[in-house]
Amino acid sequence: MNNSRALSFGTGLFMLLGFAALLFLTTQTTSHGISLMRKPHYDLLAKFDNIGDLKVGSPVSIAGVEIGRVTKIGFDTHDYKAVVTLSIDAKYNQLPTDSDASIYTQGLLGGKFIGLTAGGAETYLKDHDQIDFTQSAFVLENLIGQFLANMGKSSGDKPDAAAPAEKTK
Amino acid sequence: MLRELRESLVDSIVSVGAIGRFLVRVAVQVPRAALRLDLVIAQIYNAGARSLVIIMLSGLFVGMVVGLQGFQLLQRFGSEDALGAAAAIGLVKELGPVITALLFAGRAGTALASELGLMRATDQLSAMEIMAVDPVRRVVVPRFLGGVIAMPLLAAIFSVIGIYGAQVIGVQIMGVDAGSFWSQMRASVGLGDVTEGIVKSCAFGVACSLVAVYEGYNAVPTAEGVGRATTRTVVTSAVFTLFLDYLITASFL
């Protein structure tokens, strides 16, 4: 009897561990998750024209130091802008009200993150305040489009100047 | 030469058919064997809990290797943040179920086959038949069920430990941002990927357990026969696993 209890205990432990692993896979590795462990924090809002591929969970940094994360991304139907909620660690509660937020890229093809630059105001941003000065994500396609358009324009303007340049290549 | 080839072809078709018939014979007995839960629990313990250490160790190292290799590769494109996504998808969909199945065949499958083979060789199975106890119901089905239940759980544990291993290498040693690691993983792993992994591990569990009990139950009742049954268990399980892996992957695309 005792032996069989020990056996059942071992089996039960194994099965619980297995189901815990399954639970972890379904909730923590997928987007259907529940997030655990929240530090004290406060929320800021920022509106962007274009956020590129900024994702929930992307870091927020100031002077290169990570101070928070993106917790929510929404869309404002009135002015057609993306509304990003930034969750900032509560110990960094002295960000001037005229700080600005820009979206940068980590590496050439890496993920996006939000970089804050401190302003000079005497008052500080509080919970649910909005950052007014924002700069959108740099979208590679737009840049290439602009570059190509400029190329077309300059070769159209000076056809004879472009031709010798072609030959020297 | 040609005749040998034809005979071996016929032999392999016959053995596939025999395994199929054995599956039906086992499956018919499953509901009744489920009533003897204590037997099944003992077999889950044998096949699952005792494979835990090897599965967790292998998972850790496989995850760490995936972390290292993935980091090296992704670093060239400056997108090492995608490491979490790459490691999780690789582990959950492929490496977890497949490597667990191969280890399971080696650790639990061989134990099952040699145990049953030895029972056959020492006439224990015949003795049961004489006592009007169906050996398939009393001995084979609990072992089969134990393997089928243990395998998906083992694969899930393997994947989780593997993701932890990749995280150790990527985040704690190579300095990938922890938030990007997890957020990119969450953004790119869908519930469908996890489902694919679970379906695979269930299918591999059925295949590996079935092959093990089949080979053991039908072993030639000599020392040599038991040895050959054990070897064939590993070989056949591995081939079945990889074949099924291709089929399931293709059907999920």
| ipTM score of complex | 0.75
A165 has a pLDDT exceeding 50:
no
Give the full edge-to-edge strand order of the sheet including A133-135.
A129-131, A41-48, A81-89, A65-76, A59-62, A112-117, A100-105, A133-135
Q: Is position B212 within any domain?
A: yes
Q: Is position B74 within any domain?
A: yes
DSSP character at residue A146: H
Q: Is position A164 within any domain?
A: no
B83 has a pLDDT exceeding 60:
yes
Pairing between β-strand A100-105 and β-strand A41-48 as defined by DSSP bridges: unpaired
Packing angle of the helix pair B178-188, B141-167 (nearest 10 deg)? 140
Domain count, chain B: 1
> pTM of whole model > 0.80?
no
Q: Domain of B119?
A: 38-252
Q: Is position A151 within any domain?
A: no
Residues 149-168 of B with CB under 8 A from A: 149-150, 152-154, 156-157, 159-160, 163
Encoding tokens for residue A73?
């991304």
Q: Which residue has the tokens 């199975």?
A: B125
Looking at the fold, whether A24 and A47 belong to one and the same domain comes out as no
- pLDDT tens for A18-47 read 888 888 888 777 765 555 555 678 888 888
Residue A51's Cβ-count burial label (10 Å; 0-12, 13-18, 19+) is buried
Tally C-beta pairs within 8 A across A and B.
122
Looking at the fold, whether A25 and A76 belong to one and the same domain comes out as no
Looking at the fold, whether A105 and A86 belong to one and the same domain comes out as yes
Q: Which chain B residues have a beta carbon less than 8 Å from that of A67?
A: none
Q: Is position A136 within any domain?
A: yes
- The mean pLDDT of chain B is 89
Q: Domain of A23?
A: 1-37
Distance from CA of B220 to the nearest CA of A (A): 32
Answer whether B153 sits within 8 Å of A18, measured CB to CB.
Answer: yes
In B1-152, which ranges are E strands? none
Give dist(CA B209, CA B18) in Å, integer.
15
Of residues B242 and A10, more confidence is placed in B242
Domain count, chain A: 2
Looking at the fold, whether A72 and A134 belong to one and the same domain comes out as yes
- Using CA atoms, how far residue B92 sits from A28, A46, A71, B197, in Å, is 12, 36, 26, 6
Q: Is position B125 within any domain?
A: yes
Looking at the fold, whether A53 and A110 belong to one and the same domain comes out as yes
Looking at the fold, whether A47 and A30 belong to one and the same domain comes out as no
Task: Report which secondary-structure segment, H or E, holds B209.
Answer: helix B191-217
Answer whether B191 sits within 8 Å of A32, measured CB to CB.
Answer: yes
Looking at the fold, whether A109 and A32 belong to one and the same domain comes out as no
Collapsing DSSP states into helix, strand and coil, what is residue A118?
coil
Q: Is position A161 within any domain?
A: no
The answer to whether residues B184 and B88 touch, using CB atoms and an 8 Å cutoff, is: no
Nearest CB to B186; choose among A18, A21, A33? A33
Q: Is position B28 within any domain?
A: no
- pLDDT tens for B176-222 read 888 888 888 887 888 888 999 999 999 999 999 999 999 999 888 88
Answer whether B194 sits within 8 Å of A26, measured CB to CB.
Answer: yes
Q: Is position A62 within any domain?
A: yes
Looking at the fold, whether A28 and A94 belong to one and the same domain comes out as no
Looking at the fold, whether A91 and A50 belong to one and the same domain comes out as yes
Q: Is position A131 within any domain?
A: yes
Looking at the fold, whether A88 and A120 belong to one and the same domain comes out as yes
Q: Is position A166 within any domain?
A: no
Q: Is position A117 within any domain?
A: yes
Nearest Cα to Cα of residue A68 among A89, A47, A51: A89
Q: What pLDDT, on a 0 to 100 scale, did the predictor assign at position B41?
A: 87
Task: Return the residue of A nearest to B154 by Cα.
Answer: A18
Please compute the mean of the pLDDT values over residues B36-43 and round it to a whole number.
Answer: 85
Q: What pLDDT, on a 0 to 100 scale, did the predictor assign at position B135?
A: 85
Looking at the fold, whether A11 and A59 belong to one and the same domain comes out as no
